[in-house]
Structures are given as C-alpha cells and as structure tokens.
Chains A and B, each alone.
Chain A
Amino acid sequence: DTGVSQDPRHKITKRGQNVTFRCDPISEHNRLYWYRQTLGQGPEFLTYFQNEAQLEKSRLLSDRFSAERPKGSFSTLEIQRTEQGDSAMYLCASSERRGTNEKLFFGSGTQLSVL
C-alpha cells in the first residue's frame, strides 16, 4: 500500500494556460474522488469515479474542467484557460467500498498557483 500519489506537488502557471494533474489511487480501489481546497476553507467536492465511470460532478466543475479515469486506475484533472480563481489545492482520494467499512484515503494534493 503506497498510498494515493499526486503529481505534480506544485504547479505555477500563467492565466489562460492549460494544466493537467495526475492522481494514482491505491491499487484496486474502485472509487476515486477529486476535491478542491482554497486557503482557509475545507475541501469541496468536485467529482468522483467508480472504476472508469464518472458518476457525479459538482456545479463547481465548470466546462473548463474535465476529469478522466480511462482504465479505471489513474485519473487526470485538466483545467483549460486557467483563471486566478482556480488557484487552490487539488486533492485526490480513493476508496474501496465495503459496506460501512469504506475508508477514504487522500493524497497530499497538487497546489496550483495561477499568476
């Protein structure tokens, strides 16, 4: 169990550029979640996958955001035409649903700064 890993840890970009983040969940975890955390706030749900299917998306996820999990393993989150308001920590989490014994494991996040 190597934990949930996210890459890169930090990303600095200029407004208008596209960025892509990667999340590698714990192997065999069938659920994968993306959250966003801004300074002084708690994480906010963005979207989640069960295997390769994207089951739900938050209204926070504008059409500039897209997430994929093509083979049900790793996931990518792309932000097109970044804006300063996109600056935040993007957190990935994974879990394996086993009734009420589900445990959600978070990665350390990708810190995005849009200049």
Chain B
Amino acid sequence: AQSVTQPDIHITVSEGASLELRCNYSYGATPYLFWYVQSPGQGLQLLLKYFSGDTLVQGIKGFEAEFKRSQSSFNLRKPSVHWSDAAEYFCAVGASGFQKLVFGTGTRLLVSP
C-alpha cells in the first residue's frame, strides 16, 4: 500500500530565507508524486507534480521539488520565502495519475518577519 510521511509538523522560516519541506513515500512501483498547498478557507492548490522524466520539477509560485528514487523522497524547495507562502503543505502519492491520492499529514509553514 502507498504511504507518505511528512516528518515536520511545523516549520518556521524567516521571510527571504530558503525553504525545504521533506516528503518520503512508500510505493512499490514508479510513483506519481504531488505537492499541494492549502491556505485557511481555501481549497487545495496543486504546486507541482512528478510523473516521469526530469527528476527536478518546477512548479508555480517559485517552488520546485526533486524526486530521488534511492531515498524515496520528493522534497519541496523554494529559494526565498515570502510571507504569503504561510500555509499548510501536503505531499501526495498516486498509483495512476490523480486517482486515489494518498496524502501525508501535512507541514504547516510559518513565515516570520
């Protein structure tokens, strides 16, 4: 069965500093991997996805993620965080595209001035 682990429940980053959110997955075959962001009162918004090909994936809002099969990881990065990035971030894995996504428990990002 697929599973996703996001080891950090909360992360606080200073505005302008770099960010890395960790995600480890468990899946027997090549996974479909996603990062979503959820702001209070808002729906989940897709930041980026990995299906195949280049292991470094660019997304919206300046985010990128790198798929490392050897480490079963798909960490999310951003070189310079803005106060508007404060939100909850979810990593997810799917067996076949968007069907039946399995989400991690999320990481809440706090941005300090």
Which positions in A face B, CB cutoff 8 Å?
A: 3-4, 31, 33, 35, 40-45, 48, 56, 58, 91, 93, 95, 97, 100, 102-109
Residues of B within 8 A of A106 (CB): 36, 43-45
CB contacts (< 8 Å) of B4 on chain A: these are 42
Against A, the Cβ 8 Å flags (1 = close, 0 = not) of B80-109 are: 000000000010100001111111111000
B101 touches A45 (CB 8 A): yes
Cα distance, A3 to B43, chains bound together (Å): 10
Q: Does any Cβ of A come within 8 Å of B70's Cβ? A: no
Q: Is the CB of A95 within 8 A of B98?
A: yes
Of all chain B residues, the one with the shortest Cβ separation from A103 is: B46
Give CA–CA (A34, B102) in the complex, Å: 13
Q: Are A97 and B97 in contact (CB under 8 A)?
A: yes
Contact B106 A42 (CB under 8 A): yes
A49 to chain B, nearest CB (A): 11
B99, A48: Cβ atoms closer than 8 Å: yes
**CB neighbours of B43 from chain A (8 A):** 3-4, 91, 93, 105-109
> Hey, which chain B residues are within 8 Å of A97, CB to CB?
97
Q: Can you report 10 residue pairs joining A to B where beta carbons are below 8 Å apart? A: A4-B43, A31-B98, A40-B105, A42-B4, A42-B105, A43-B44, A43-B103, A48-B99, A106-B43, A108-B41
